[in-house]
Structure 1
């Protein structure tokens, strides 16, 4: 039976439909971004300097909109596109601004310290959750979300430990809302602690949940803080693989249904062993490292660095607007006092461990 070749128009239709789906949400994120830049410009004219960067303003405006209006389903594809893919592209472009000198300044001690911080923080956070009476799986979600990378860590760990949707929703709600508070408060804490740009960047990378939030928290302290914060954060994200594999081994102990979780853990280990490298390491991290290498070997023209940095900033602000549009502060009230206490105390412990590491390393 002969096959009928598809016309060029038929091939284009699905692609056009995908683009049309993201337009409403993307337009909304771009609108929030425009307002954020306009307000930052007004700050500059009125006060001679910008107190709240466009990155921070975008997430605040987005959060305010989301708290009084829930976007219908037609808006969500564009918001998700802005929060995920545009952010990943921004992270790749940001690699062009990271010099080899910054990496060398970090040294192997910092890399080892990041890994130790993640595992120490997970253990401490899990203990806090259990002491406050949280179920083991909920305590594990809170611990991993706080200690690694917020929502991404929670989503990755949930199937490994057999967590249900209610636990996942509560943990994600807290990391989203608390993440905004950390972005706003961390620069003030950095000033109070008299941290240098390099120290503050490492501190932000160790404590803030998501990559765009790290960038937003580091921006008030300068370019060096942004470079170091992003580098530390991405190393922290890489810890998600070892943590998931470790939890798949420990999974039978995380709830009463040991038989079922033993089967689940075994399946997860087999699945992890078959995963190709691009599933274990996100593509944008590889792209970020590739851009660092290109910058270090002089493969990126000097004249291109400023436009690349500008594009990275713009895309990051758009993703921050999308992140804010996904945060509903009203959801926190539904999770309960014990979860609130566990998340807040875990974050304070993570901050204390991170500050101790930054102080011991004597970063410049």
Structure 2
């Protein structure tokens, strides 16, 4: 790829670090590079996006006292379990009706129910999913994530949702942590705090779900808690132990928000035409219907004040 394309890509990444650039703009710029085939380092940017996102999440933990993390996690516990069970059940039914291969259907349902790509990566080896099956599920979830990041804030403002309401909705209804924090960050700081905590509480269910899948399929696959979730909780604990260091925590959380915006640029640049071609109509229909169902039910419950 010509050096001019590489230089342009670097300049665009630097632009996303400027103050005032919101997550949706960074994602949109990244998507333009991806769809135009102008990402000179697709594999490197994919790895960078994951590292940057996890770093940003940990940084956001320094801005939250542990008591707040515990309270939000406890409040969202029952609705998280209900949402996961509902999504897995509906995913199974849709997979059968649409005649989607069983393992692909399971991965899409798990990715929608818990934590997008992270859940798919954790579940895939436990059910002996092939690489192409994982790729299709990841492409489906990734595409829906990009749509959610842009669409959710618009819907939230249209419905005049408060920041806590929006944060709860985003944390439950959007697949990947990246899109959850991206959508919430563009809505407001309170929405970001709420959504991040709700989402990470939900992401912890990767472990029991993967253990259950490993037991049922007898693969013996070891399951690990995502390290960035543990570090997020540790950061909140440090904030609680040293409240007098508030200026430091403010700097860290501000830096985390900039890192988050950059990570979304890299995530968007991974949405290539090749990736979109992997998403078949039936798998996209399953993923889309699951996403619309959980989003629609959740937003109604939030608007009614039930959650």
TM-score, shorter chain, exceeding 0.5: yes
User: Are 1:195 and 2:161 matched, yes or no?
Assistant: yes
Q: 2:200 aligns with which of 215, 234, 245?
A: 234
User: Are 1:224 and 2:176 matched, yes or no?
Assistant: no
TM-score (normalizing by structure 2): 0.88
Q: 1:34 aligns with which of 8, 11, 14?
A: 14
Aligned length: 303
Q: In the alignment, what sits opposite 2:136?
A: 170
In 1, Cα distance between equivalents of 2:198 and 2:73? 11
> Does the 8 Å CA contact 1:137/1:163 hold for their aligned counterparts?
yes
Q: In the alignment, what sits opposite 1:136?
A: 102
Q: In the alignment, what sits opposite 2:219?
A: 267
Query: Which SS does the other structure have where 1:97 is aligned?
Result: coil
C-alpha deviations, 1:164-188, integer Å up to 9, x for none?
Answer: 2222111111111211110000012
Query: Per chain length, whose mean CA-contact separation is higher, i.e. which structure has more relative contact order (CA < 8 Å, sep 6+)?
Result: 2
Q: 2:36 aligns with which of 50, 68, 73?
A: 68
Quote how far apart the aligned CAs of 1:359 are.
Answer: 4.9
> Does the 8 Å CA contact 1:29/1:79 hold for their aligned counterparts?
no
Q: In the alignment, what sits opposite 2:25?
A: 57
Task: Give the direction of change, closer, same or farther, for the CA distance of 1:113–1:360 in structure 2 (3 Å limit).
Answer: farther
Quote how far apart the aligned CAs of 1:355 are.
Answer: 2.8
C-alpha deviations, 1:69-88, integer Å up to 9, x for none?
Answer: 1645xx24531342122221
| Structure 1 gap segments, 5+ residues each | 1-25, 42-52, 251-264
> Does the 8 Å CA contact 1:82/1:318 hold for their aligned counterparts?
no
> Does the 8 Å CA contact 2:50/2:263 hold for their aligned counterparts?
yes
Q: In the alignment, what sits opposite 1:106?
A: 72
Q: In the alignment, what sits opposite 1:331?
A: 275
C-alpha deviations, 1:37-85, integer Å up to 9, x for none?
Answer: 56x75xxxxxxxxxxx53111111111111111645xx24531342122
> Does the 8 Å CA contact 1:200/1:218 hold for their aligned counterparts?
yes
Query: Which SS does the other structure have where 2:100 is aligned?
Result: coil
Q: 1:151 aligns with which of 86, 109, 117?
A: 117
Q: In the alignment, what sits opposite 1:95?
A: 61
Task: Give the direction of change, closer, same or farther, for the CA distance of 1:171–1:291 in structure 2 (3 Å limit).
Answer: same
> Does the 8 Å CA contact 2:22/2:186 hold for their aligned counterparts?
no
In 2, Cα distance between equivalents of 1:186 and 1:178? 11
Query: Which SS does the other structure have where 2:160 is aligned?
Result: coil
User: Are 1:347 and 2:291 matched, yes or no?
Assistant: yes
> Does the 8 Å CA contact 1:161/1:248 hold for their aligned counterparts?
yes
**Cα RMSD after superposing both structures:** 2.6
TM-score (normalizing by structure 1): 0.75
In 1, Cα distance between equivalents of 2:304 and 2:102? 33
In 2, Cα distance between equivalents of 1:282 and 1:107? 17
| Structure whose CA Rg is larger | 1
Task: Give the direction of change, closer, same or farther, for the CA distance of 1:350–1:200 in structure 2 (3 Å limit).
Answer: same
Pairs within 5 Å for 1:117-136 = 117-136=83-102
C-alpha deviations, 1:198-225, integer Å up to 9, x for none?
Answer: 1110110111122221111112321111
In 2, Cα distance between equivalents of 1:337 and 1:104? 40
Quote how far apart the aligned CAs of 1:28 are.
Answer: 7.6
Quote how far apart the aligned CAs of 1:347 are.
Answer: 0.5
Quote how far apart the aligned CAs of 1:267 are.
Answer: 3.0
Q: In the alignment, what sits opposite 1:211?
A: 177
Quote how far apart the aligned CAs of 1:230 are.
Answer: 0.3
Quote how far apart the aligned CAs of 1:109 are.
Answer: 3.8
Task: Give the direction of change, closer, same or farther, for the CA distance of 1:295–1:124 in structure 2 (3 Å limit).
Answer: same
